């Protein structure tokens, strides 16, 4: 558990100042942008990845 | 109410002379709209065999985890969830199940939007889903205010001017911790849970929305996958 938290802490440092993206009047945190991007990726994956049905076994 | 003599072989059927009672009407209406086979079906139409249909049930699963971990936090209190290892773990489970809840709900919402899932007399299903989403945002917001730490103090003082500018501050005071806690653990979860139950029952009553009618050239492909032709009812708004 300690190892996992150490690795995650090294990858994503949440102790510093928040990072933001500015684009005209739009301002969004990098964390929120990452979550939105992940949702879009999962959404596209849910549409294109084939679903295994009973008949496929 | 009549007196039951207990002479009937099937007590759930009711007597013909009792058919005008509200209990009989309610029972007959409920079992007519949602017979057990439709309430908990074994099979779904072929077009439901897609990952995009999984996100509704994932959202409900995450909501159950949110409620369960919230109940544990309510029993143990802020000192436990801020200090002890087990408390921090359950507190994190509560936070991350909320994150998963919104993640799955947004994908479910996108999917249903592009399917125009309000077709075929399913408008109320769509509306209950949208309202549940909006109420969930309020529930999450009051959750941030109920953390009992500097984060919740910061959020409440930042939010107060915005909320007060809308006029809602008269009865929704973000600086009133007791009020925010009650909104978070009583009122809003009750509404979200109620809407979720109604939403799921409406899905079971009306069925899952069929796809848009495929162009004539693609009808053969649907037949190969075992799918039935989309119901005409599905395209009626």
Q: What is the pLDDT along chain B (237 residues), one digit of tens a residue?
A: 556 555 566 666 788 888 889 999 999 999 988 888 888 888 888 888 889 999 999 999 999 999 999 999 999 999 999 999 999 999 999 999 999 999 999 999 999 999 999 998 999 999 999 999 999 999 999 999 998 889 999 999 999 999 999 999 988 999 999 999 999 999 999 999 999 999 999 999 998 998 887 666 554 444 444 444 344 344 443
Of B49, B103, B226, which has the smallest distance from its Cβ to A51's Cβ? B49
Mark yes or no for CB contact B106/A51 under 8 Å: no
**B133/B143 Cα distance (integer angstroms):** 15
- Tokens representing B29? 């209406």
**Bridge-based pairing state of the strands A26-29 and A20-23:** antiparallel
* Four-point Cα dihedral B98, B56, B133, B195, nearest 10: -110
pLDDT in tens, A1-54: 667 777 777 776 777 788 899 999 999 999 899 999 999 999 999 999 998 866
Of B50, B99, B107, which has the smallest distance from its Cβ to A51's Cβ? B50
User: Residue A3 falls within a domain, yes or no?
Assistant: no
Residue A51: list chain B partners with CB under 8 A. 49-51
- Tokens representing B182? 């009650």
Q: pTM for the complete prediction?
A: 0.82
Q: What is the pLDDT of residue A1?
A: 63
Mark yes or no for CB contact B103/A47 under 8 Å: no
Q: What is the pLDDT of residue B1?
A: 56
Q: How far apart are the first and last CA of chain B?
A: 42
Of B50, B111, B226, which has the smallest distance from its Cβ to A55's Cβ? B226
Q: What is the ipTM of this complex?
A: 0.78
Range of the domain at A40: 18-50
Chain A interface disruption, residue of B46, B104, B107, B115, most A CBs within 10 A? B107
Q: What is the pLDDT of residue B11?
A: 64
Number of domains in chain A: 1
User: Residue A39 falls within a domain, yes or no?
Assistant: yes
- With beta carbons less than 8 A apart as the criterion, state whether B167 and B227 touch: no
**B106/A41 Cα distance (integer angstroms):** 12
Angle among Cα B25, B30, B33 to the nearest 5 degrees reads 120
Mark yes or no for CB contact B50/A35 under 8 Å: no
B25: three-class secondary structure by DSSP: helix
- With beta carbons less than 8 A apart as the criterion, state whether B139 and B190 touch: no
Residue A47: list chain B partners with CB under 8 A. 50-52, 111
Residue B106: list chain A partners with CB under 8 A. 39
Which residues lie below 8 Å from residue B46, measured CB to CB, with a gap of 6+? A53, B222, B225, B226, B227, B228
Which residues lie below 8 Å from residue B217, measured CB to CB, with a gap of 6+? none
Mark yes or no for CB contact A46/B49 under 8 Å: no
Identify the closest residue of chain A to B111 by CA–CA distance.
Answer: A43
SS3 content of chain B, % helix, strand, coil (to 5): 75, 0, 25
Residue A46: list chain B partners with CB under 8 A. 50-52, 54-55, 107, 111
pLDDT in tens, B119-131: 989 999 999 999 9
**B169/A9 Cα distance (integer angstroms):** 39
- With beta carbons less than 8 A apart as the criterion, state whether B109 and A45 touch: no
- Residue in this structure with the two tokens 């848009």, named with its chain if needed: B212
User: Residue A22 falls within a domain, yes or no?
Assistant: yes
């Amino acid at each position: 558990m300690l190892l996992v938290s150490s690795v995650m802490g090294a990858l994503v440092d949440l102790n510093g100042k928040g990072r933001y993206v500015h684009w005209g009047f739009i301002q969004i945190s990098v964390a929120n942008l990452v979550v939105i991007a992940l949702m879009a990726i999962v959404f596209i994956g849910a549409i294109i990845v084939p679903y295994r049905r009973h008949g496929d076994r | 109410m009549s007196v039951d003599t207990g002479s009937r072989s099937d007590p759930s059927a009711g007597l013909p002379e009792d058919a005008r009672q509200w209990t009989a009407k309610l029972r007959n209406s409920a079992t007519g709209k949602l017979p057990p086979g439709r309430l908990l079906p074994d099979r779904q139409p072929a077009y439901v065999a897609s990952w995009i249909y999984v996100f509704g049930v994932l959202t409900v699963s995450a909501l159950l985890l949110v409620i369960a971990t919230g109940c544990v936090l309510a029993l143990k209190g802020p000192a436990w969830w801020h200090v002890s290892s087990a408390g921090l773990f359950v507190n994190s489970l509560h936070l991350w199940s909320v994150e998963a809840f919104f993640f799955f709900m947004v994908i479910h919402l996108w999917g249903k939007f592009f399917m125009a899932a309000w077709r075929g007399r399913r408008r109320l299903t769509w509306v209950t889903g949208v309202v549940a989403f909006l109420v969930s945002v309020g529930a999450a917001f009051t959750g941030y205010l109920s953390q009992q730490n500097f984060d919740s103090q910061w959020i409440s003082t930042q939010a107060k001017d915005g909320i007060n500018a809308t006029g809602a501050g008269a009865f929704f005071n973000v600086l009133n911790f007791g009020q925010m806690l009650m909104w978070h653990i009583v009122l809003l979860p009750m509404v979200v849970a109620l809407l979720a139950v109604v939403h799921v029952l409406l899905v079971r009553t009306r069925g899952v929305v069929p796809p848009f009618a495929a162009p004539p050239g693609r009808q053969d492909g649907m037949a190969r996958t075992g799918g039935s032709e989309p119901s005409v009812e599905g395209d009626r708004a």
